Amino acid sequence: MERIKSIIVDDEPKSRNNLRDLLKEYCQQVDLIGEAASAGEALKLLNEKQPELVFLDIEMPGGSGFDLLKSLSKQSFEVIFVTAFDKYGIQAVKFCAVDYILKPIDILELSRAVEKAHLQINQKKENQRLAELVANLDRSDEEKRLALPLLDKIEFVIINQIIRIEADGNYSRIFLNNKQEYMVCKTLKEYHEILQTYGFLRTHQSHLINTHQIKAYVKTDGGYILMQDNSNVPISRQKKEEVMKVILHN
């Protein structure tokens, strides 16, 4: 299960500790990446950590939870309000909160709120994937992008910037021409099926290369491909004839 990057904003240490313990015990899809004791601290944390979900207290000294949300030019995260006061429900709705939980926290209410947030966050990610898919229809091959589902986000990369992909069990390591590297939970076979129409070639059981990024074919040591990033990619015996045909016709 993909975990939700989350932070807690509450001025009371006991409340933060209690919520942290409950989330750890009953909401394991939540990945707590920070805590703040005021709106000011929270603003800094939001900018630094870019969470997907915020557990937000309302009444805090120096600025309420509502003040924090009003100060943001863009709200890119979901909010679950956690408060000791039941008078803020309508305002919480106006701020498009996922849920509104009263202290002391009911475990079932907390679990339901987190699950609701999880669904909304996943829907946003899926919408982003679909938007990229639609945009790809109008892009040239040089501009087409590939969605990479990472642990904490979905990264979109230009296909022609991929130099090669290497199998790592049920995962794939993707190497870009800017020296960035990504580990993605997809098999090499899946990427071969997606990318073969864009000039990608399987040279080996564990290697898929972008033929537009080939630097040289080296005949020594049984023959291998030298890529633009100076990485060496082996050629299996079974693939050698197919690989040579592609190289000679490129």
**What are the pLDDT digits (tens) for 55-70?**
999 999 888 999 999 8
Residue 135 lies in a domain: no
**What are the pLDDT digits (tens) for 107-116?**
999 999 999 8
Residue 85 lies in a domain: yes
Q: Are residues 227 and 119 in the same domain?
A: no
Q: Are residues 55 and 104 in the same domain?
A: yes
Q: Where does the pLDDT of residue 143 fall: very low under 50, low under 70, confident under 90, or very high at 90 and above?
A: confident
Q: Are residues 17 and 112 in the same domain?
A: yes
What does pTM read for this prediction?
A: 0.55
pLDDT at 93: 67
**What CATH number did the domain enclosing 184 receive?**
2.40.50.1020
Residue 136 lies in a domain: no
Count: domains in the chain:
2
| Average pLDDT score, the chain | 89
Residue 198 lies in a domain: yes
**What are the pLDDT digits (tens) for 1-24?**
678 999 999 999 999 999 999 999
Q: Are residues 101 and 151 in the same domain?
A: no
85: containing domain: 4-125
Q: Are residues 99 and 205 in the same domain?
A: no
Nearest Cα to 84, choosing from 61, 62, 45, 58?
58
State the DSSP code for 61: T
**What are the pLDDT digits (tens) for 182-219?**
998 888 998 998 898 889 999 999 999 999 999 999 98
HEC profile of 89-142: HHHHHHCCCCEEEECCCCHHHHHHHHHHHHHHHHHHHHHHHHHHHHHHHHCCCC
**Residue 77: phi, psi to the nearest 5?**
-125, 165
Q: Are residues 94 and 193 in the same domain?
A: no
